[in-house]
Structure 1
Amino acid sequence: MMDVGAHPIGSLYAAERGRLSQFVRRLLRGGAGAEDLVQQVFLRLLVSGCPGHGRATLMAAARNLALNHLRDLRRRGETVLSDEAFAQIADAAPSPEAVTLYRSELRRLLEAVAALPPRRRDIFVLSRFEGLSHAEIAARLDIAPRTVVNQLVAALASLDRTLGPA
């Protein structure tokens, strides 16, 4: 790890960081990210291996990075939110209570499906869980398509009785 204070850029950073940060904050109109952009200026300077740049070069680099940053924000349509505004955004994830309720309902449904007679259960699972058509189920189980329809109707009626109205 390099000791930045011993490097010529370290002293340049110490001398110019505050002024560049203020300049970039003005360009960003107080927007977040000014410190990051100033660090990028010095990082690029360090990577280029040309520590002899003056204030004008640093200001131009900072200006260019700030303008690129603003252009990128406009292009992406990104909005910077304050901490208070961010905290008020509703979480799209279901609440723990809703997750528990959904799991309970799913468990009830699976138990009711498991209680169906074997052939009816197989037809229901192939239709509703695996998404097969009536013809595909009939071909797979070697039964008539009409039997598939009759068994599905019977399965749905049985599940409706077991689970009750929604």
Structure 2
Amino acid sequence: MSAFQNSAHFEQVFKDNWELMYQSAYCKIGNQSVVEDMLQEIFIDIWQRRESLEIKSGIKGYLLTAVKYQVMKYFDELTKTRSGSANTFPESFYEEDVFGFEELYKEIEIAVEMLPPRAQLVFRMSRLEGYSVDEIADKLNISPQTVHNQLTKSLKIMRGELKHLAPVLAVYFVA
């Protein structure tokens, strides 16, 4: 089954995630137009592969990983342009970039595991899989207000557990 049910779902995923993706890339690159081009490339690629694309983890993790690789690709191309050869950045630069995103995702997963089971499910569906409140309510056969209540409690817990990552996760945990 495709990761995107239809164009409206794809558009919602874009709206829900572009700002976090933008901030993640911008803090590394610092150039608005380059970052906007990167995000456009990512979403064009996803749209072109939408029929066969299967995202097994969570959509946010997938998108942040895509940003990570685009940032690395950008620096590789920049290096080639300036020096005529690849990989003039120290290997530790790439390790820090890769581990930064992987560690971020691991810390989020650890914090999610601290939530009660039902709250975990609602949180994952909302923040990691991109479902709307109404879609979650329908799928779990609960009221939209219950979904809102679960998300509010979960976000409060998550903010507390991940407060040391506040600048990076500010958009991720907005109610």
TM-score range (shorter-chain normalised) is 0.3 to 0.5
TM-score (norm 1): 0.44
Task: Indicate the structure (1 or 2) with the bigger Cα radius of gyration.
Answer: 1
Q: Which has the higher contact order (CA 8 A, sep 6+)?
A: 2
